[in-house]
A and B are shown apart, each in its own frame.
Chain A
Amino acid sequence: MSIQQYIKNVFNAVKTLLKGMRVTGYYFFHPKEIITQQYPDNRATLKLADRFKGEVVMLHDENNEHACTGCTACELACPNGTIKIITQFDITPDGKKKKALNTFVYHLELCTMCNLCVEACPTGAITMAQNFEHSVYDRKQLTKILNKPGSKIRAGVE
């Protein structure tokens, strides 16, 4: 190692260490940067990251209509059998049979929040909610039916 290299090493070391200390020092003198949420205390004003995924929900509009065609793409995409879709055949006004959703069964206890079902859905019927207070006394309560009772498919969704 040449003497220039040696001196260069020392200066580089000091420079990079100071750079690191600048980052932590900045955080120390700017306590507003703290990202900790004091959860049970601030339940009302809780701020979650956009990418946080809590559970799968089906979107319903004000007419109690959803966009699920019962195509089972989500069921096929799910890596651990969280989703089970029961379909039925509706008779359309012009007398044809059409496959439609009967029951969307969602096993929250099996779900890993991987988001694959949401990405697989061709009509954007399901999405990830940011709810995380899932604890219940009986795990049967974790098996949920996502389509609301009496809901039907929105007109025009194929």
Chain B
Amino acid sequence: MLNTISFEAIKTAVQQWLNMHWGPHLAFIAECILIGLLVIVFFAVLGLLLVFMERKVSAVMQIRLGPNRVGPKGWLQTSADTLKLMLKEGLTPDGADKFLFNLAPFLIMIAAMLIMVPIAFARNFQIWDINIGVLYISSIASISVIAILMAGWSSNNKYALLGAMRSGAQIISYELSAGVAVITMVMLTQSLSIQDIILSQQNGWWIFKGHIPAIIAFIIFMIAATAETNRAPFDLAEAESELTAGFHTEYSGMKFALFFLAEYINVFIVCAVAAILFFGGWMPFHIGNWEGFNHIMDYIPSSIWFLGKTFCLIFLIMWFRWTFPRLRIDQLLNLEWKYLLPISLANLLLMTIIVVLKWYL
């Protein structure tokens, strides 16, 4: 196994160095601070990268060129935008509930950060392998709706309030089908721990091993994930053409940037969760007994596998956004309650039968 310069090796080396030089308690605190810094840096880089990716993808899909002036091929465009947002005044409206108004962007970032905890980025490279990882993710994900409602309510603006209410209705209803899709996959692994879920896909990813119910669950999960991250075609919460910007209408400067960043972080997270549940996280692509092929696949680092799968799914979500028109609120709730939820429940039943009869490999 190739682990000369993997994330696992770096992590172990840092851990050993800290424990050697400082006591175990001090080393633990230092590790916590290090992880916090790493997550913040990762968020910033991810935000810049995903915004740039979205602008380029949308441009090419609409037969345009996209940003191409700042830096080589426009690579510095998002950095320049961030710099501009930092220099802007963070205005608080006069009639706003000042405390809640200023708290909301931080709450949404904290919720996004907390979800990072159980996600495995590479082989044995995970902040904390909680034994209820999947449940943890789906419960923390629903905290972000509080931040959105808080932002909408405290802005004292009817557009913001309408956007927040729509977002609340949307996230609460779509969580159901996302949750049922996740349960469908958990049935196969019979564990909620992310590590166990990934390890159970050693000899093939669940999307291949789980027959048709896994594919249906994947489609439902992607639809629900798009809705939960408030992205088009489910972007009624923001709906530029109706509500200016929805719940973050009144925000400016860096506080607006935090909402914007949180949207992209959430996209990354749902795609990472989908990659873990359906595509084996950092697990390389293996085909049955083809030893040579499997060996070559093992040479690709696990972090590349994980990020590659995640970015493919992010591309899929961007593809949705730049193809489909926005749904009306009644169509949105019809889709969830009349179609996705019954289908995912039937799918769950089908999966139960498969698991009970042990029809999977």
Do the beta carbons of A24 and B319 come within 8 Å of each other? Answer: yes
Known contacts A10-B339, A31-B60, A34-B60, A24 near B65 by CB under 8 Å: no
Q: How many residues of A contact B (CB 8 A)?
A: 16
**Total A-B pairs in contact (CB under 8 Å)?**
37
Bound CA–CA A21/B320 (angstroms): 7
Residues from chain A with a CB closer than 8 A to the CB of B320 are 21
Query: Distance (Å) between the CB of A15 and the closest chain B CB?
Result: 13
A-B contact pairs, 21 of them (CB 8 A): A9-B339, A10-B343, A17-B324, A20-B323, A21-B323, A23-B323, A24-B319, A24-B322, A24-B323, A25-B61, A25-B319, A27-B63, A28-B57, A28-B319, A31-B60, A34-B60, A34-B64, A35-B64, A36-B63, A36-B64, A38-B65
Do the beta carbons of B343 and A28 come within 8 Å of each other? Answer: no
Query: Distance (Å) between the CB of A13 and the closest chain B CB?
Result: 8
Residues from chain B with a CB closer than 8 A to the CB of A20 are 323-324
Do the beta carbons of A35 and B323 come within 8 Å of each other? Answer: no
B16: interface (CB < 8 Å): no
A94: interface (CB < 8 Å): no
Query: Distance (Å) between the CB of A34 and the closest chain B CB?
Result: 5
Residue of A with least CB distance to B342: A6
A61: interface (CB < 8 Å): no
Query: Distance (Å) between the CB of A45 and the closest chain B CB?
Result: 16
Q: How large is the interface on B (under 10, 10 to 19, 20 to 34, 35 or more residues)?
A: 10 to 19
Residue of A with least CB distance to B64: A36
Query: Distance (Å) between the CB of B66 and the closest chain A CB?
Result: 9
Bound CA–CA A34/B339 (angstroms): 37
Residue of B with least CB distance to A34: B63
The 9 closest A-B pairs by CB, nearest first: A24-B61, A36-B65, A24-B323, A20-B323, A21-B323, A28-B61, A28-B60, A35-B63, A36-B64
Bound CA–CA A31/B324 (angstroms): 20
Type the 1/0 row for A10-52, where 1 means its CB is closer than 8 Å to any CB of B.
1000000100110111011001011110100000000000000
Residues from chain B with a CB closer than 8 A to the CB of A24 are 61, 319, 322-323
B62: interface (CB < 8 Å): yes
Type the 1/0 row for B5-21, where 1 means its CB is closer than 8 Å to any CB of A.
00000000000000000
Residues from chain B with a CB closer than 8 A to the CB of A33 are 63
Q: Besides the contacts A27-B61, A34-B64, A35-B63, what 13 more A-B pairs have beta carbons closer than 8 Å?
A: A10-B339, A17-B324, A20-B323, A21-B320, A21-B323, A24-B319, A25-B61, A27-B60, A28-B57, A31-B60, A36-B63, A36-B65, A38-B65
Bound CA–CA A21/B222 (angstroms): 15
Type the 1/0 row for B306-342, where 1 means its CB is closer than 8 Å to any CB of A.
0000000000000110111000000000000001000
Query: Distance (Å) between the CB of A67 and the closest chain B CB?
Result: 40
Known contacts A17-B324, A21-B319, A27 near B65 by CB under 8 Å: no
Bound CA–CA A31/B57 (angstroms): 11
* CB contact list, B58-85 vs A, under 8 A: 60-65
Residues from chain B with a CB closer than 8 A to the CB of A17 are 323-324
Residue of B with least CB distance to A26: B61
Query: Distance (Å) between the CB of B95 and the closest chain A CB?
Result: 42
Bound CA–CA A25/B61 (angstroms): 7
Bound CA–CA A33/B63 (angstroms): 6
Query: Distance (Å) between the CB of B54 and the closest chain A CB?
Result: 13
Residues from chain A with a CB closer than 8 A to the CB of B323 are 17, 20-21, 23-24
Residue of B with least CB distance to A17: B324
Residue of B with least CB distance to A29: B60
Bound CA–CA A25/B57 (angstroms): 10
Residues from chain A with a CB closer than 8 A to the CB of B322 are 24
Do the beta carbons of B65 and A34 come within 8 Å of each other? Answer: yes
Name the residue among A27, A28, A38 with the largest chain B CB count within 10 angstroms: A28
Bound CA–CA A121/B63 (angstroms): 38
Query: Distance (Å) between the CB of B118 and the closest chain A CB?
Result: 32
Residue of A with least CB distance to B62: A27
Name the residue among A9, A10, A24 with the largest chain B CB count within 10 angstroms: A24
Query: Distance (Å) between the CB of A59 and the closest chain B CB?
Result: 34
Query: Distance (Å) between the CB of B73 and the closest chain A CB?
Result: 12
Query: Distance (Å) between the CB of B107 and the closest chain A CB?
Result: 34
Query: Distance (Å) between the CB of B232 and the closest chain A CB?
Result: 12
Type the 1/0 row for A100-140, where 1 means its CB is closer than 8 Å to any CB of B.
00000000000000000000000000000000000000000
Residue of B with least CB distance to A14: B219
Query: Distance (Å) between the CB of A155 and the closest chain B CB?
Result: 49
Bound CA–CA A112/B335 (angstroms): 47
Residues from chain A with a CB closer than 8 A to the CB of B339 are 9-10
Query: Distance (Å) between the CB of A121 and the closest chain B CB?
Result: 36
Query: Distance (Å) between the CB of B44 and the closest chain A CB?
Result: 27
Bound CA–CA A21/B318 (angstroms): 11
Query: Distance (Å) between the CB of B214 and the closest chain A CB?
Result: 17
